[in-house]
């Protein structure tokens, strides 16, 4: 029997595989694994974004690998006591969340053209701003702050992701979608969000409960 050698994958196919920023689950456990919302931002974020702490993995593998956590910026938008909420459309990158209502605009962190082995805090924050510009059209100025982290190991999506919650305070409520995956945008009060909390994706429900606690 002659020996056969598999042909290498075409370069275009290899290049098309998305790579996403991850940390080892072991680092998360070392820092203190939690379920739900964690407001101790500095302790976690400084360690997660330290040189060498994070790296990029192919997304198809990362989605099935609970030994790593994908770092997901999760941005909430506030204007005069109301919060932006939308429906995830069919073209959402996370198919397991399609048709869910959400208060968070989020996405994976991907390598830039000048690939680095790790992502530092300044580069990360700049990346969040770029991500928002790709997904939404904001009118007027805004400020942002990181208010906490989200972890939910109760389902297969949450087991491989770790959310970093950014609160954007907007000068204007004139916000439009830049992507088909973001539909039916509107601003609702916390009371309105609580009334419809069963329709929210898990991370959004966790955020809304925390925002209610902050208001108390």
Q: Is 185 in a helix, a strand, or coil? A: strand
Fold of the 17-215 domain: Nucleoside Triphosphate Pyrophosphohydrolase (3.90.79)
All structural domains of the chain with their residue ranges: 17-215
**DSSP letters for 74-120:** EEEEEETTEEEEEEE-TT-S-GGGTT-EES-EE------SS--SS--
Q: Is 12 in a helix, a strand, or coil? A: helix
Return d(Cα 178, Cα 16) in angstroms, integer.
22
Tell me which H or E stretch contains 145.
strand 142-151
pLDDT at 97 over 70: no
pLDDT at 189 over 50: yes
Give the pLDDT confidence score for residue 90 in this predicted structure. 60
Look at strands 161-170 and 68-79 and give their pairing: parallel
Return d(Cα 66, Cα 6) in angstroms, integer.
30
Average pLDDT over residues 17-44: 96
Tell me which H or E stretch contains 54.
none
Give the pLDDT confidence score for residue 13 in this predicted structure. 46
Of 131 and 193, the structure prediction assigns the larger pLDDT to 193
- pLDDT digits 0-9 by tens, 33-75: 999 999 999 999 999 999 889 999 999 999 999 999 999 999 9
Return d(Cα 64, Cα 83) in angstroms, integer.
32
């Amino acid at each position: 029997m002659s020996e056969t050698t598999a042909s290498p994958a075409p370069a275009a196919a290899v290049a098309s595989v998305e790579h996403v920023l991850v940390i080892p689950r072991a680092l998360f456990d070392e820092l203190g694994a939690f379920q739900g919302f964690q407001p101790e931002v500095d302790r976690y974020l400084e360690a997660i974004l330290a040189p060498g702490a994070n790296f990029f993995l192919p997304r198809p593998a990362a989605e099935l690998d609970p030994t790593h956590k994908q770092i997901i910026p999760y941005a909430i938008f506030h204007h005069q006591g109301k919060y932006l909420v939308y429906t995830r459309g069919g073209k959402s990158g996370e198919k397991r969340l399609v048709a869910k209502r959400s208060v968070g605009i989020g996405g994976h962190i991907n390598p830039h053209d000048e690939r680095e082995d790790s992502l530092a805090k300044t580069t990360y924050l700049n990346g969040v701003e770029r991500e928002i510009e790709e997904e939404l059209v904001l009118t007027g100025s805004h400020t942002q702050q990181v208010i906490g982290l989200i972890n939910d190991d109760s389902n297969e999506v949450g087991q491989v992701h770790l959310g970093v919650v950014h609160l954007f305070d907007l000068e204007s409520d004139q916000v439009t979608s830049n992507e088909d995956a973001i539909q039916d945008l509107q601003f609702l009060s916390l009371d309105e969000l609580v009334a419809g909390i069963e329709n929210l994706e898990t991370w959004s429900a966790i955020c809304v409960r925390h925002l209610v606690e902050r208001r108390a």
